[in-house]
Structure 1
Amino acid sequence: MTLDTRIFVLDKVDPQETFKFFRSLLGATDKHSFTDEQDKTYSKGEWSVSPDNPWTISNDPGQGLPGWLMLYYRPDAPLRTAEQAAEHDEDCNLPENSIYVEEWGPCDGTHHRRPCWLTVSIDTAYGYRDDRGFGCGDLHAEYVAKLGQWLDARGVRWEWENEFTGEVHTGYSRLIDLASGGFEASAWFRTSVLPVIEAEVRKGGLS
């Protein structure tokens, strides 16, 4: 089992530059391979590329990195506009007598995919533990915070999703929910992230 944490970048930013920065957080070097290609669609027994398909930049798995990094984007366009995110897809169009409709009612859009310029996904095994004592949640909290600071410096808005709860947050304060303790106890957190959280508290910007 793995923890998949997603960061939704809301404003325009260069996908390749963002991927390169996140690769540096993982400790990736030129020897660690990756792909950057348009997604394929499976239909009628074969795979093909449609002009409407998004693109994915992805580290190749099995290279000893602490997480599998994937970034989803469209060249010079949002990955998903607000109008596109509001549309129902095949997962929403369940039969009226479906057990899911009976339990939860018709889709109200709450669980639709987020509108964003691009999405970053980092996937790490639950059993991960590094030499600092960081587990997968601590590691992801650190990654979200460092990418968030990189985006903040460029005036780019962002959100992140806690896979444990399914909740989407802005800012740094709720990263504690993701971490198991190592991240919160680290000197880097106390000197680089905690002051930002305290500033959010003072201005009432917690989420």
Structure 2
Amino acid sequence: MTLDTRIFILGQTDPHEVFGFCRDLLGATDQHTFSDEQDSTWSKGESFVEPTNSWAISNNPGQGLPAWLMLYYRPDAPLRTAEQAAAHDEDCNLPENAGYVEEWGPCDGKYHRRACWLTVSFDTSYGYRDERGYGCGDLHAEYVAKLGQWLDSKGVRWEWENEFTGEIHTGYSELINLASGGFEATAWFKTTVLPAIAAEAGGAR
């Protein structure tokens, strides 16, 4: 089992620049290979209502990096517009979801894929543990915080999804619920992330 944490970048951003920044977070070097190709699963439209001409940049798996990095984008266009995100796909009305419809009513779009310029995914085994004592949640909290601050410095809006809860968040305060404690104990968290959380609480974000 793995933890897949996704960051939805809402403003126009160069996907290759973002991918390069995220590779640096992972400690990837020129020895760590990756692919950049059209994502045929999304493009076929057989199972989902997805925009055509979507691409995926992905580190190749099995290279010893702490997370499998994937980034989904469309060249010179949003990955998914607000109109595309609002559209119902066949998942909304699958027979196995009949109980959901009976209890909660028709799909209200809450769990639709997000409208965004691109999506970044960090995927790490639940059993991950590094020399700092970080588990997968601590690691991803660090990645989200560092990527978020980099995007903030560029004035680009972003959101992230906690796969444990399925909830979408803006900013840094909810990262505490993703981490198991190692991340919060670091000096970097105390000197860099806590002030960002305080700024959010003060309405600066």
Deviations 1:70-103 (A, max 9, x none): 0000000000000000000110133599333223
Correspondence 1:1-207 to 2 at 5 A: 1-41=1-41, 52-94=52-94, 98-203=98-203
Map of 1:47 onto structure 2: none
CA gap of 1:43–1:136, structure 2 versus 1, over 3 A, is closer
Letter in 2 for 1:92: C
Matched position secondary structure for 1:91: helix
Matched position secondary structure for 1:123: strand
- Which structure 2 residue ranges, 5 or more long, are not aligned? 45-50
CA gap of 1:52–1:204, structure 2 versus 1, over 3 A, is closer
CA gap of 1:107–1:190, structure 2 versus 1, over 3 A, is same
CA contact (8 A) 2:43 2:53 kept: no
Q: Hey, what's the Cα distance between the residues in 2 that align with 1:91 and 1:8?
A: 21
Matched position secondary structure for 2:193: helix
CA contact (8 A) 1:8 1:120 kept: yes
CA contact (8 A) 1:8 1:116 kept: yes
Q: Hey, what's the Cα distance between the residues in 1 that align with 2:43 and 2:119?
A: 25
CA gap of 1:97–1:132, structure 2 versus 1, over 3 A, is closer
CA contact (8 A) 1:94 1:101 kept: no
Q: Hey, what's the Cα distance between the residues in 2 that align with 1:11 and 1:29?
A: 27
- Which structure 1 residue ranges, 5 or more long, are not aligned? 45-50
Map of 2:48 onto structure 1: none
User: Structure 1 or 2: larger helix share?
Assistant: 2
Q: Hey, what's the Cα distance between the residues in 2 that align with 1:97 and 1:137?
A: 30
Shift of 1:39: 1.1
Letter in 2 for 1:191: T
Task: Calculate the aligned-residue CA RMSD, in Å.
Answer: 2.2
Q: Hey, what's the Cα distance between the residues in 2 that align with 1:42 and 1:84?
A: 13
TM (norm. structure 2) is 0.92
Identity %: 78
CA contact (8 A) 1:161 1:167 kept: yes
CA contact (8 A) 1:176 1:184 kept: yes
Matched position secondary structure for 2:183: helix
TM (norm. structure 1) is 0.91
Shift of 1:203: 2.5
CA gap of 1:175–1:94, structure 2 versus 1, over 3 A, is same
